[in-house]
Amino acid sequence: MITIVALLFLVAVFSLVRAFLYKSDYFKLRVVETRAAFLDRNAVSMISNQVLSLYKGQNIFKIPLKFISRSIETSYADVKDVTARIALPDRLVVDIKLRKPIALVHNNKYYPIDEEGFVLPAVAASGSITNLPVIDGINFKYGRKNTSRNLKLAMDLLREIREAKFIAPLDLVSINAADPRSMSFFLRNGLEVKIGSENFKQRLDALSRTLKDPRLIVDRIKYIDVRFEDVAIGPK
């Protein structure tokens, strides 16, 4: 009998608490806070206002958090991940993680591309993002993930170049990945480095040793070919 009474008491308490949570005006949505580093303030405000206009005044526990997250992800091409969560008593917090561009691809416009190969919205001809290296020779569609072998090789090369560090002062401009066998990259001073599609680390080491040669006058060189054991240098 004591057990039954205790169970009935717990059920009653649960029902009262549930009724309070789901019917009290205290838990109705009043504020939507969107958090997204590097996202334009106007875009942040627009997202918050859109969500609030749809669910303002609704019970905070009945709001479809997963649906909101998916809707924002599909609406903005440069959004990588969205998490919507409740902040009691009456707030909804939307955390947005943007895709980080690491290079540009282009046809008639320049499009940033992230490390996963996802093509983001086109950028203007000016701005800090246009200082990213350009990957040429890639067929792509905006708003989609590019899985081509050429792009993967170019991305691998870009990572190795960044890890090598010695190229940074010379300023990488572009990578030509149209033909992996003769893949090359260009530096700001116009020098072309023919590197192919394999053994990037070893070939970059060979390039580093070549550039350190005191007899080398870089301004008089058109290209350096590190695809073979004997480095070839082509004069202008």
Q: pLDDT-based confidence at 109, cuts 50/70/90? A: confident
The last residue of a domain, from among 53, 73, 98: 98
Percent of the chain at pLDDT exceeding 90: 52
Structure tokens at 89: 């008593």
Give the DSSP per-residue string, 205-217.
HHHHHHHT-TT--
The last residue of a domain, from among 98, 121, 140: 98
Whether residue 92 is found in the same domain as residue 51: yes
pLDDT tens-place string over residues 27-71: 899 999 999 877 788 888 999 999 999 999 999 999 999 999 999
Given a contact cutoff of 8 angstroms between Cβ atoms, the answer to whether 115 and 54 are in contact is no
> Is residue 178 in a domain?
yes
Whether residue 208 is found in the same domain as residue 119: yes
Structure tokens at 47: 């997202």
Q: Average pLDDT over the chain, rounded to whole?
A: 86
> Is residue 8 in a domain?
no
> Is residue 6 in a domain?
no
Structure tokens at 69: 């997250």
> Is residue 9 in a domain?
no
User: Amino acid identity, residue 104?
Assistant: L
> Is residue 57 in a domain?
yes
Other beta carbons less than 10 A from residue 13's beta carbon:
10
> Is residue 7 in a domain?
no
Whether residue 140 is found in the same domain as residue 224: yes
- Domain range spanning residue 32? 17-98
Q: In this structure, are strands 91-98 and 31-35 parallel, antiparallel, or unpaired?
A: parallel
pLDDT of amino acid 126: 47
The last residue of a domain, from among 98, 127, 157: 98
Whether residue 193 is found in the same domain as residue 152: yes
> Is residue 179 in a domain?
yes
107, with CB counted inside 10 A (0-12, 13-18, 19+), is exposed
Q: pLDDT-based confidence at 26, cuts 50/70/90? A: confident
State how many domains the chain has: 2
Q: pLDDT-based confidence at 19, cuts 50/70/90? A: low
Asked if residue 161 has pLDDT above 90, the reply is: yes
Whether residue 105 is found in the same domain as residue 212: yes
